Structure 1
Amino acid sequence: MQKDIPQSVDPDEPKTPGHAIFSGAHDYFVNNVLPDTIQAHVSRYQTPTSYANNRDQTFILVRSGKGKALINGLEYNLRPNTLINLGPFHRYRFLPSKGTPLEIAEARMNSSTYVYMIANPYLKCEQMTVPSQPPVVYLKGLSAEIANESMDGLLHEAMNDSADRIQLCFCYMMNFLGIITDQMPKAYFASSTTHSKEKK
C-alpha cells in the first residue's frame, strides 16, 4: 500500500484568492493600523503649563490632583479619574489648583489606528462625527478601574519590549475608546444632519 507523501510548500507558488485577500488585509492591519510606536508617560504639574498643539490621537487620564484644562478655548475641570480624548490640532494647557499638583498620564497613537477604532463594528454607531470639543468624562467605579489598569498597562509596555506589546497596547486603547463612547451622551456622536432631522 502506497503512503501519501506530504507535499512541500513553495513560497513562490500562487496562493488561492481567499488566502491572498486575508494575507493582504492582515498586512495592511499590521503596517497601517496597529500603533507603530508606544508612547505613554506620566507628568506632574505644579504650575500652569504653556499651550501645546496636539499632533496625535491622545488619551489623557488624571491620576491625582485637581485643576483645569483649557482646550480649544474651553475650560474643563480636572480631578482624579478624568479621561480626555484629544485629536490632532487640539490646542491645550493645564492649570493645576494651588497646593494640589496635577499628575497626568498620557498615551498617544497614530491617527490611522484611531480611524480604524471608531469604524469598527463593535461600537454600533450608524453615524459618528468628532466635534471640535473633545470628549471629557469623569469616571468612577468599574470604568475608573478599567481606565487606570489600561493606562498602567500602556505605561508598562512603553518601558518594556515584550513580543506582543503592539497588540496589547491596541487593546488598551480600545478600552479607553469604549469607556468614552459609553460615558458620553449619545447626542455628542450624532452628525449635524441627524440633529436637523430631529428638530423637524
Structure 2
Amino acid sequence: MGKKNNINYLPLFASSPYYSKKEFQFPITAVNKTVANTSVLKNNSGITLLYVRGGQGKIIINTREYPVQRGLLMVLGTYHYYQVQPDEIPLEITKCRLSYDTFLYMAANPYYRLYELRLNVDPISCLLDGRMLIRTEQVLDELVAVTAKHKHQGGETEFFLCMKLMGIMQKTHNNDLWK
C-alpha cells in the first residue's frame, strides 16, 4: 500500500472513477410515435423525456391538462401518470426513457450543473423555437437512430445524447409555462 499523496493511491471519494465507469449501463431508449387516438394512462418506472414534433392536443398529467404543440419538451418523473390526447391531426411524439438511476447519475455530475432541474408536480417543460428547436430535433433524430442500432442494450452514445437534451432543458426550461 502506498502513501496517501501517491498518484496510485486514489482518495476514497475520487470523482474520476465514478464518472468514467466502463461497466456502467445506460438503459436509455428513444422512439418516434404517432398518436392518433387518446393513449392509455401510463406511468413509467423511470424518467421520460417527451418531445412534440408536430400536431396539437393536450397531455393530462395527474388529472391536470396541459396544451401541447410542436417544440414542447417535457421531463416526466415516476410519479407522473400521463395520457396523450391529440386534436384532429395526430401528434408526432419522440419519447425517450431512462432509469431514475441514470437521471441521478446525470444530475450529480458537477460539470453539467443541472442544479436547477428538479422533479416537481408540474412537469419540467420548455417550448422551443428557432435554433434550439432545430438542434433538439437533430439530437433526438440521432438518439432514436442510435437506440435502434443498439437494440435497447444501451451505451455511452445514448447517454451523451441524453445529456445534450438535459443541457437544452437546463438552458430553456420555463417554470411559468403552465401558470
TM range (shorter): 0.7 to 0.9
Residue ranges of structure 1 left out of the alignment (5+ in a row): 1-14, 189-200
Residue 165 of structure 2: SS of its match in structure 1? Answer: helix
Equivalence for 1:8 = none
Equivalence for 1:16 = 8
The correspondence of residues 43-62 of structure 1 with structure 2, limited to 5 A, is 43-62=33-52
Per the normalisation by structure 2, the TM-score is 0.80
- Partner amino acid for 2:92? E
Higher Cα radius of gyration: 1
Do structure 1's residue 119 and structure 2's residue 108 form an aligned pair? yes
Residue ranges of structure 2 left out of the alignment (5+ in a row): 1-6
The count of aligned residue pairs is 169
Rounded to whole Å, the distance in 1 between the matches of 2:51 and 2:116 is 27
Equivalence for 2:164 = 175
From the superposition, tell whether residues 20 and 119 of structure 1 become closer, same or farther in structure 2 (CA, over 3 Å).
closer
Per the normalisation by structure 1, the TM-score is 0.72
Rounded to whole Å, the distance in 1 between the matches of 2:158 and 2:120 is 25
Equivalence for 1:95 = 85
Equivalence for 1:84 = 74
Rounded to whole Å, the distance in 1 between the matches of 2:28 and 2:40 is 24
Residue 54 of structure 1: SS of its match in structure 2? Answer: coil
Rounded to whole Å, the distance in 2 between the matches of 1:118 and 1:126 is 7
- Partner amino acid for 1:90? H
8 Å Cα contact 2:32-2:93 kept in structure 1: yes
- Partner amino acid for 1:169? E
Do structure 1's residue 150 and structure 2's residue 139 form an aligned pair? yes
Rounded to whole Å, the distance in 2 between the matches of 1:177 and 1:21 is 25
Mean CA deviation greater in 177-186 or 104-113: 177-186
From the superposition, tell whether residues 27 and 83 of structure 1 become closer, same or farther in structure 2 (CA, over 3 Å).
closer
- Partner amino acid for 2:60? L
Residue 155 of structure 2: SS of its match in structure 1? Answer: helix
